[in-house]
C-alpha cells in the first residue's frame, strides 16, 4: 500500500474513509499487562522513553494486540522542556515533576544547545518502528502545545488550580512570552525532526487549552499553534497536523479555522451535532468518553454506534475524548475495535 493509501492518512487529509480509521490516545500504557512488564524491564518511565528499542516496542504493543490504524510514538510531551535544560523526573507511581521556573534567570537558562542531542533517542525510536509497522498503519508523532507544556514548566508538574501560571498570565509578564517563544521554536524543530525520522502525521496536545482566559486565547493558544503549523507546512506541506485543544467549548470553530491544522481532535463534552458541523472545516477526531470504555457492555456499544452514525459520513477518525485510563479492561478496547470495523 502506498503511503497515500493508508486509511488514517486519507481521513486526516479530509476524505470520508470506510471502514472508519481509528487509534486511541494513550493506547500504549498501564492498562496493558505487556506495557507494565516492559516498563518494569526499562526500570523507569523515562528510561523507557529514552531507550529506542523499548520505546519502539511500547509503540507497537497496542498495534500487535488490536490492529489500530494509527501507531502513536511512545514518548512524552515533557521531554521538550527537559531538552531545553529543565530538570524532569517522575515520582514512583506519581505524576511528572519539574524544577519550577521562578525568575528571569530560570527562563534565560532554557536553551537549545542540547535539544537535538537529548531528543536523538526519540528519532532513533521512530527509525526502529518504521520498518516494523504493518503496511496500512500510519505512524503518528506528537508534541505538547506551548501553553500546555508551559503549565507544567511553571507549576513544576501537574496542577489542581493552575494558580501560578494564571498569575503569570494576569501580570502579562514578558518572561511568559519568552517561554512561549522558546517553546514554539523547540516544538517546531522537534516535530520537523520526528517527520524527518519517519512519522507521517503529528498531533499537538493542548490538554489545558480550556483554562486559558478568553482575552488571552489568541496570544496563548491560537498564535503559538499557528506559528508551529506554519513552520511545519513550509517544509512538509503534505504531513497532516492534528490539534487537540481540550475543553475549549465554543472556541473549537475558531481554533480549527485560524490555526491552519488539518484535523481537530475533540473532547467527550463536545456535542455530536457540533462535531458534525465542524467537519465542514476538515477532519474531526474523537470523542468517546474514556469512562465509557472502562464501563464496556451495552453502554459502550450504544455510545460507539451513536458516534459512528453521526460522524461517519464525513471526514472522521474514531478516537477517545482524552487518553485511555489505566483501569480500562483490554477486552473493552478489543470490543471497540470490532464495533468500528463492523460499522456499515
Q: List, by residue number, the catalytic residues.
A: 26, 30, 39, 76, 152
Task: Compute the least distance from the CB of residue 39 to ligand CP3, in Å.
Answer: 5
Count the neighbouring beta carbons within 10 Å of the beta carbon of residue 193: 18
Q: Which is nearer to ligand CP3, 72 or 153 (CB)?
A: 72
| Interaction between residue 96 and ligand CP3 (CB under 6 A) | yes
Contact pick of 19, 67, 260, 323 for ligand CP3 (by CB under 6 A): 323
Burial code of 200-217, b = ≥16 C-beta within 10 A, e = fewer?
Answer: bbbbbbbbbbebbeeeeb
Among residues 76 and 289, whose Cβ is nearest to ligand CP3? 76
Among 205, 252, 316, 318, indicate the residue that binds ligand CP3 (CB under 6 A). Answer: 205
Site string for ligand CP3, 56-85 (x = CB under 6 A): ----------------x-xxxxx-------
- Residue 124: phi, psi to the nearest 5? -65, -35
Q: Where do runs of H (alpha helix) occur along the chain?
A: 7-12, 33-42, 45-50, 52-66, 79-83, 104-109, 115-129, 146-155, 163-170, 174-197, 217, 223-235, 252-259, 272-278, 290-295, 297-311, 330-342
Rounded to a whole number of angstroms, the minimum distance from the CB of residue 309 to ligand CP3 is: 26
C-alpha distance from residue 97 to each of 86, 87, 114, 220 (Å): 10, 8, 20, 23
- Give one DSSP letter per residue of 234-249, joined into a string: HH-TTS-EEEEETT-G
Q: At closest approach, how far in Å is the CB of 193 from ligand CP3?
A: 16
Among 3, 40, 43, 158, binds ligand CP3 (CB under 6 A): 158
Q: Does 26 bind ligand CP3 (CB under 6 A)?
A: yes
Contacting residue, 22, 31, 123, 142, with ligand CP3 by CB under 6 A: 142
- Residue 202 contacts residue 139 (beta carbons within 8 Å): no
Q: Which is nearer to ligand CP3, 17 or 98 (CB)?
A: 98
Largest CA distance in the chain: 58
* Contact between residue 215 and residue 236 where contact means Cβ atoms under 8 Å apart: no
User: Which of 150, 312 has the CB closer to ligand CP3?
Assistant: 150
Among 30, 175, 253, 343, binds ligand CP3 (CB under 6 A): 30
Give the residue closest to ligand CP3 by C-beta: 207
The 3-state DSSP class for residue 48 equals: helix
Q: Does 154 bind ligand CP3 (CB under 6 A)?
A: no
Q: Hey, is 22 helix, strand or coil?
A: strand
Nearer Cβ to ligand CP3, position 208 or 316? 208
315 forms part of the interface with ligand CP3 (CB under 6 A): no
Residues within the interface to ligand CP3 (CB under 6 A)? 25-30, 39, 45, 72, 74-78, 95-96, 142, 158, 205, 207, 323
Amino acid at each position: 500500500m502506498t503511503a497515500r493509501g493508508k486509511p488514517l492518512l486519507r481521513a486526516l487529509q479530509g476524505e470520508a474513509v470506510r471502514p472508519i480509521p481509528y487509534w486511541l490516545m494513550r493506547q500504549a500504557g498501564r492498562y496493558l499487562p505487556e506495557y507494565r512488564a516492559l516498563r518494569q524491564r526499562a526500570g523507569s518511565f523515562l528510561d523507557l522513553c529514552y531507550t529506542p528499542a523499548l520505546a519502539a516496542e511500547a509503540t507497537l504493543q497496542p498495534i500487535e494486540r488490536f490492529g489500530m490504524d494509527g501507531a502513536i510514538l511512545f514518548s512524552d510531551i515533557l521531554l521538550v522542556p527537559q531538552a531545553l535544560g529543565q530538570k524532569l523526573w517522575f515520582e514512583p507511581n506519581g505524576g511528572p515533576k519539574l524544577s519550577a521556573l521562578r525568575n528571569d534567570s530560570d527562563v534565560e537558562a532554557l536553551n537549545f544547545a542540547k535539544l537535538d542531542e537529548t531528543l536523538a533517542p526519540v528519532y532513533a525510536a521512530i527509525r526502529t518502528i518504521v520498518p516494523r509497522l504493518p503496511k496500512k498503519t500510519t505512524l503518528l508523532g506528537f508534541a505538547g502545545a506551548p501553553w500546555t507544556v508551559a503549565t507544567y514548566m511553571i507549576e513544576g508538574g501537574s496542577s489542581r488550580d493552575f494558580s501560578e501560571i494564571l498569575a503569570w498570565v494576569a501580570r502579562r509578564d514578558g518572561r511568559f512570552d519568552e517561554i512561549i517563544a522558546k517553546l514554539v521554536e523547540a516544538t517546531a524543530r522537534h516535530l520537523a525532526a520526528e517527520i524527518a525520522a519517519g512519522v507521517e502525521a503529528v498531533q499537538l496536545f493542548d490538554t489545558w487549552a480550556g483554562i486559558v482566559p478568553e482575552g488571552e486565547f489568541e496570544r496563548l493558544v491560537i498564535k503559538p499553534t499557528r506559528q508551529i503549523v506554519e513552520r511545519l507546512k513550509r517544509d512538509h506541506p503534505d504531513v497532516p497536523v492534528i490539534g487537540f485543544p481540550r475543553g475549549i467549548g465554543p472556541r473549537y470553530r475558531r481554533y480549527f479555522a485560524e490555526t491552519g491544522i488539518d484535523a481537530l481532535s475533540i473532547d467527550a463534552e463536545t456535542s455530536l451535532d457540533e462535531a458534525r458541523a465542524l467537519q465542514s472545516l476538515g477532519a474531526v477526531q474523537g470523542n468517546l468518553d474514556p469512562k465509557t470504555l472502562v464501563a464496556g457492555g451495552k453502554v459502550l456499544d450504544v455510545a460507539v454506534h451513536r458516534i459512528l452514525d453521526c460522524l461517519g459520513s464525513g471526514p472522521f477518525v474514531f478516537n477517545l475524548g482524552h487518553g485511555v485510563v489505566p483501569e480500562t479492561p483490554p477486552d473493552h478496547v478489543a470490543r471497540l475495535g470490532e464495533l468500528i470495523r463492523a460499522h456499515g
